[in-house]
A and B are shown apart, each in its own frame.
Chain A
Amino acid sequence: MADLAVDLGFRKLRNPVITASGTFGYGLEFQPFMDLERLGGFVVKGLYLEAREGNPPPRLVETAGGLINAIGLPGIGVRAFREEVLPRLRDLDTAVIINVCGGDDDEYVRVVEALGRERGVAAFELNISCPNVKRDGACPALAPEPTYALVKKVRAATAVPLITKLSPNVTDIVAIARAAEEAATDAVSLVNTFLALAVDVETRRPKLGNVYGGLSGPAIKPIALRMVHQVAARVRVPVIGIGGIMTGTDALEFLIAGARAVEVGTANFVDPAAAVRIVGEIERFCEDKGIARLADIIGTLRAA
């Protein structure tokens, strides 16, 4: 039996498979389909301080090998999460990660202050990269300075480990990852979705109510993988790879490229048990190849 454990420094995971924010509800939605304790961890849907409505529909459009969403981060807010959801998650033997959102820096701080002393929170993932809440996809993760400033403020407000989730819609993602690292993030996760557009030629209108949305799914995997490879080579903090992972092979590509763990997103929509299936596929790969410790293959990409 291969050892699938990976170490994020602040936390050891039983395996590298985490489910991505916004694709896994608050975790409870998936209990009919899997034992959540088979996962390395899961990231709950992004939380603002207050409950939010999200964007007007249509919120989804499918494209070749991908999905563009403009959901707009609806959610139940911190209080309902703390009182109604977290008590049902905190005793699970898996890493429960809370995705943190904010309309401004102060709101991120207030969310982590409101949840930072709760038992059963493995880490906060700072969602500084959602393309669907401000005009033209604006978000802190588009430049190093606002990324540094925000992570530093949140860092000062909590002792809970921080994962900073990065946007791919930038000229130099390495510079932004380094800004997060300088501000003392414990890890970076990348990538969030690619800002995208789909057009209805009959009506000449955008297919999404929000005009632009974020592209995810198999279509983005090669670009995400390249970015993970670049960032992993240039930062010391652990990198969590995200982008179009549908199979164990996809996840292994990210690990070999330098990711310490991965997040599975869109695949959860297609197959609610996808993340657990991917764990099994990774395990079989290790057994077939005689790999005793999965961690040994992290960052082992060879020369071309």
Chain B
Amino acid sequence: MPIDPGARIVGHESWNDYHLLSVATPAVAAAAAPGQFVMVKVNDQPYPLLRRPLSIHARDGDRLEFFFKTSGVGTAILAAKRPGETLDLLGPLGKGFRPPERASGKLAFLVGGGRGIAPLFFLAEDLHARGVKVRVLYGGRTVADLPLRPKFERACWETLFATDDGSHGFAGLVTALFTREAAARRPDVVYACGPDPMFHALAGAVRTLGVPAQFSLEAIMGCGIGACWGCVHRLRKDGREAWVKICEDGPVFEASDIVWPEGT
């Protein structure tokens, strides 16, 4: 398992609270697969104490890209990093997205909300290379929540956009866009990452359609390697419900196995 204590930042783009870091980390990059994550120590101080999980956004040779939104002390420190500084990375970790069997020619919908778009770029590139027809649905509250729009527009697959306020693309939730698009052409498989309300709506939609789906869950993690049992989510496993470690058994799970808390 690679630990790269000196992963050098080679690029940093930012849009308000959203950031895209490009990091040279050959050993971690070589082992990475779509849907996996790394644990990053943002400084060498006792606060913040723990590493932070970051999903892998893209791979470019021996570089990895990480896309995140500042949400607390750890991400704020990361957001202040400049090219030339280094990060301490542990990874790649977890079980990522599984491509469809006999992938070539299949149609995949990739649904991302806000910062949840992060792992879907790496996945889209991988699926595209396998001959899967990729259609990305990228949603946010406003156009300002779609900072990666130009990057997805340049890519060699189709991306549709949705904003809650109609400032760009489809006016409404990305899940409503999904329902419209899936009615026009039923996907063979769905991949998603985003906030819980998006997962809830999408879980219902894919169940109705009878389409298999894989969701990438997010959690506060203590260790990232299955030792602390801190990052659990309720899942159906071996025919019964259990608290399952997101870091080790996930972060990507079959949507039909995920149990959502009552009242959500």
Q: Which residues of A contact B (CB under 8 A)?
A: 22-25, 29-30, 32-33, 45, 53-54, 56-62, 64-67, 69, 71, 74, 217-219, 246, 266, 268-273
Contact = CB atoms under 8 A, between A and B. Distances in A.
A64 B227 contact: no
B49 A33 contact: no
B227 A23 contact: yes
Interface stretch (B60-68, B184-192, B229-237): B229-237
Contacts, number: 87
A271 B223 CA distance: 8
Interface of A is mostly: loop
Nearest to A216: B49
Contacts of A268: 223, 227
A29 B230 contact: no
Given A69-B230, A273-B3, A29 B225 contact: yes
Given A54-B243, A270-B41, 11 more contacts: A29-B226, A33-B3, A56-B243, A60-B221, A60-B230, A64-B47, A65-B46, A65-B49, A218-B49, A271-B41, A272-B3
Contact of B222 (A24, A33, A64, A69): A69
A24 B225 CA distance: 10
A43 to B, nearest CB: 12
Contacts of A217: 46, 49
B72 to A, nearest CB: 9
A246 to B, nearest CB: 7
A103 to B, nearest CB: 19
Contacts of B230: 57, 59-60, 69, 71
Given A74-B243, A268-B223, A273-B3, A59 B50 contact: no
Interface residues of B, number: 26
20 contacts: A25-B226, A29-B227, A30-B225, A53-B242, A53-B243, A56-B243, A57-B231, A57-B233, A59-B231, A60-B222, A60-B228, A62-B49, A62-B220, A65-B47, A69-B228, A71-B228, A74-B229, A217-B49, A272-B3, A272-B223
Nearest to A53: B243
A116 B211 CA distance: 51
B227 A270 contact: no
Contacts of B41: 270-271
A101 B230 CA distance: 19
Interface string B235-264: 000000011000000000000000000000
Interface of B: 1, 3, 41, 46-51, 90, 219-223, 225-233, 242-243
B242 A23 contact: no
Nearest to B48: A62
Nearest to B226: A29
Contact of B50 (A64, A269, A272): A269
Interface of B is mostly: loop
Nearest to B223: A269
A264 to B, nearest CB: 12
Contacts of B233: 57
Given A32-B1, A33-B1, A67-B222, A24 B49 contact: no
A23 B230 CA distance: 10
A272 B221 CA distance: 14
Contacts of A30: 225, 227
Contacts of B219: 57
B225 A272 contact: yes
A217 B1 CA distance: 25
A269 B49 CA distance: 9
A67 B49 CA distance: 8
B239 to A, nearest CB: 15
Contacts of A65: 46-47, 49
Given A25-B227, A29-B226, A272-B3, A59 B90 contact: no
Contact of A272 (B46, B48, B90, B242): B90
Q: Which 3 A-B pairs rank lowest in CB-CB distance, beginning with the nearest?
A: A60-B230, A269-B223, A32-B1
Contacts of A60: 220-222, 228, 230-231
A23 B228 contact: yes
A29 B187 CA distance: 38
Contact of B229 (A33, A54, A246, A273): A54
A30 B223 CA distance: 11
A218 B232 CA distance: 25
A198 to B, nearest CB: 12
A57 B231 CA distance: 8
A269 B224 CA distance: 8
Given A24-B227, A33-B1, A270 B49 contact: yes
